[in-house]
């Protein structure tokens, strides 16, 4: 045990020495909050959410916030106590644990963290001698139910809008009897407290992004973005692609003004010569061309995540090429115009191919294209259409092409929340087909495991009974998952099936602000597209 702790502390100190921007505060008289990211340090520090929450939680003088990760450098051993990075204190010394959860598969890590920390796993078993546990982030904000028996409070919506009232009440809530604390917190906007049955909870959101800019706080080489500072330039997306959680749960679309983006870029310039612009759809920012032109004039390199073809300009493409961008990423999501119309992400193929030719002229070493496999209504013909599209792309782009063929997982609060998830064997067969067809053209096909996508699918649209399954699992493996499901008398198919319009959905505890009628209408439109334009060969249709 001593050896494990010594190794962990040594790893943490090594990482801290390489960080710039870390906040060290004395604990005396302050409320200690652990910001917990239930995955590795590397992945957590690549998430802008960790940076901004860390900064905002440390802003009040009477709060000290330190980071905790599921693992630091190596996979944690069973008996390894989770410690905070800054002062290497165990979780039990904190008054509150604030989990930020991006992915459903990280739920396993949450349980593992609590178990290793020696904290009772059920909220009902914990009194005020244990830290209060609050969770937020896209996954739990959309559907907190699988964790509703485990964590105490769920933040529904955006942190800037939630934190002022939460931080006002938290010092008292952490020092009174737990039932009273839950009453206090259940009265705040945007907080779901399962033990107080205060559902549905309306999502809260920040009106003015200029008032609370989000950017990298800590610079470290040990992230995916070690060479740059990240700046959020917009949030939400108005395009309503029917599969997209971001498109429906971060409404309305808001942008950071050019003036603020450039001010933040000056901050980044103190640490790095490259800025990563972050938004659901970066190229949709109304001033994207002047922003990147000015950033280049300031001598900064520019990077972006993925781009919308229809709003991608040559100015942006040139700025990326001049910034030594290695990979240009676009996301057609589906191969055929029919399926793109069905998912409501229509993209003109002629324009797409023009942009690919332009990318070739600007000498990008790699082109990456995102597709989802298993959209509702997808047929074998739609998968064949990906092959056709890539063949046209290959003819125009001579360098390395990567396609990400990700299994599609229906998400709550989207029009496809009622759709069945494609069976894992269908997904696996379609991905294998793509690999076989594209390999001769030197196209790399990457994909996530269809079997794990099923687990993600169950958790994404899961209910409270899955909490028992999470607790029952002794380690994170597919075998353990199946065993725990069986012991709980559950089947994964219950969660992956199509839902009827009249059933109560577990995630109705969250009011996303988008009406059920709107989502249902969008789903019906998708179904009309299926029947109007389905190819003769409709076999394999997933709905
Ligand atoms: S997939 Fe992209 S363009 Fe479509 S709604 Fe989501 S963020 Fe917007």
Q: Summarize pLDDT for 57-107 with one digit per residue, the tens.
A: 999 999 999 999 999 977 787 778 999 999 999 999 999 999 999 999 999
Q: In the predicted model, is pLDDT for residue 406 greater than 60?
A: yes
| Confidence band for 2, pLDDT divided at 50, 70 and 90 | low
Same domain, 437 and 328: yes
Q: Which residues of 442-455 are buried (b: 16+ CB within 10 A; e: fewer)?
A: ebebebbebeebbb
**Structural domain span for residue 147:** 2-202
454-483 residue pLDDT tens? 999 999 999 999 999 999 998 999 999 999
Asked if 23 and 60 count as a contact pair (C-beta separation under 8 A), the reply is: no
Same domain, 161 and 231: no
Same domain, 155 and 297: no
Q: In the predicted model, is pLDDT for residue 543 greater than 80?
A: no
Q: In the predicted model, is pLDDT for residue 428 greater than 60?
A: yes
Q: How many Å lie between the centroid of ligand 1 and the Cα of residue 240?
A: 7
Q: How many Å lie between the centroid of ligand 1 and the Cα of residue 48?
A: 19
Closest C-alpha residue for ligand 1 atom 3:
239
Same domain, 341 and 417: yes
Number of domains in the chain: 2
3-state helix, strand, coil in the chain (%, to 5): 45, 15, 40
Longest CA span, the chain: 72
Same domain, 170 and 215: no
| Confidence band for 165, pLDDT divided at 50, 70 and 90 | very high
- pLDDT (mean) for 16-20: 97
> Cβ-count burial of 407 within 10 angstroms (0-12 exposed, 13-18 middle, 19+ buried)?
buried
Same domain, 262 and 127: no
Same domain, 153 and 281: no
Q: What residues are in contact with ligand 1 under a 6 Å CB criterion?
A: 237, 239-241, 244, 246-247, 280-281, 308, 345
State which H helix or E strand residue 361 sits in.
Answer: helix 349-361
Closest C-alpha residue for ligand 1 atom 4:
241
| Confidence band for 305, pLDDT divided at 50, 70 and 90 | confident
pLDDT of residue 537: 37
| Confidence band for 1, pLDDT divided at 50, 70 and 90 | low
CATH of the domain at 316: 3.80.30.20
Helix/strand/coil for 81: coil
Q: What rounded mean pLDDT belongs to the chain?
A: 94
Alpha helices (H) along 197-348? 245-249, 258-268, 288-297, 314-322, 337-342
| Confidence band for 330, pLDDT divided at 50, 70 and 90 | very high
Same domain, 22 and 81: yes
Q: In the predicted model, is pLDDT for residue 286 greater than 80?
A: yes
């Amino acid at each position: 045990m001593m050896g494990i702790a010594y190794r962990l502390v040594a790893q943490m100190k090594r990482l801290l020495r390489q960080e710039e921007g870390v906040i060290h505060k004395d604990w005396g008289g302050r409320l200690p909050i652990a910001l917990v990211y239930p995955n590795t340090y590397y992945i957590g520090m690549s998430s802008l959410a960790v940076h901004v929450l860390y900064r905002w939680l440390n802003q009040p003088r009477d709060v000290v916030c330190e980071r905790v990760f599921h693992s630091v450098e190596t996979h944690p051993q069973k008996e390894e106590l989770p410690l905070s990075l800054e002062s290497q204190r165990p979780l039990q010394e904190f008054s509150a644990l604030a989990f930020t959860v991006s992915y459903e598969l990280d739920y396993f890590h949450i349980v593992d963290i609590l178990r290793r920390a020696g904290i009772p796993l059920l909220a009902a078993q914990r009194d005020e001698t244990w830290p209060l546990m609050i969770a937020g982030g896209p996954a739990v904000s959309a559907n907190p139910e699988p964790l509703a028996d485990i964590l105490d409070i769920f933040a529904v919506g955006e942190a800037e809008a939630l934190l002022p009232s939460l931080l006002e009440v938290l010092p008292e809530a952490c020092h009174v009897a737990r039932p009273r604390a839950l009453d206090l917190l259940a009265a705040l906007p945007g907080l779901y407290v399962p033990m107080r049955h205060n559902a549905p909870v309306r999502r809260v959101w920040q009106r003015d992004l200029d008032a609370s800019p989000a950017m990298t706080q800590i610079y470290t080489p040990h992230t995916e973005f070690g060479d740059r500072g990240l700046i959020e330039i917009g949030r939400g997306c108005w395009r309503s692609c029917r599969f997209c959680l971001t498109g429906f749960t971060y409404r309305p679309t808001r942008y950071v003004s050019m003036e603020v983006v450039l001010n933040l870029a000056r901050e980044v310039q103190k640490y790095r010569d490259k800025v990563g612009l972050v938004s659901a759809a970066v190229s949709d920012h109304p001033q994207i061309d002047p922003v990147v032109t000015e950033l280049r004039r300031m001598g900064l390199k520019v990077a972006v995540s993925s781009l919308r073809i229809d709003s991608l300009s040559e100015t942006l493409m040139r700025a990326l090429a001049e910034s030594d961008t290695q990979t240009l990423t676009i996301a057609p999501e589906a191969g055929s115009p029919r399926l793109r119309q069905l998912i409501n992400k229509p993209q003109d193929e002629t324009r797409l191919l023009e942009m690919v030719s332009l990318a070739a002229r600007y000498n990008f070493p790699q082109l990456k294209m995102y597709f989802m496999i298993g959209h509702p209504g997808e047929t074998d013909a739609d998968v064949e259409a990906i092959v056709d599209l890539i063949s046209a792309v290959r003819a125009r782009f001579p360098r390395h092409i990567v396609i990400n063929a990700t299994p599609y997982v229906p998400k709550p609060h989207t029009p496809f929340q009622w759709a069945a998830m494609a069976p894992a064997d269908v997904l696996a067969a379609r991905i294998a087909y793509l690999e076989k067809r594209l390999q001769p053209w030197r196209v790399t096909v990457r994909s996530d495991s269809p079997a794990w996508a099923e687990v993600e699918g169950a958790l994404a649209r899961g209910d409270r009974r899955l909490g028992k399954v999470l607790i029952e699992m002794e380690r994170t493996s597919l075998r353990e998952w199946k065993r725990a499901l069986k012991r709980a008398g559950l089947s994964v198919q219950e969660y992956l099936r199509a839902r009827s319009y009249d059933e109560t959905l577990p995630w109705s505890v969250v009011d996303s602000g988008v009406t059920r009628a709107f989502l249902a209408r969008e789903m019906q439109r998708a179904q009309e597209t299926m029947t109007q334009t389905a190819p003769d060969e409709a076999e394999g249709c997933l709905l």
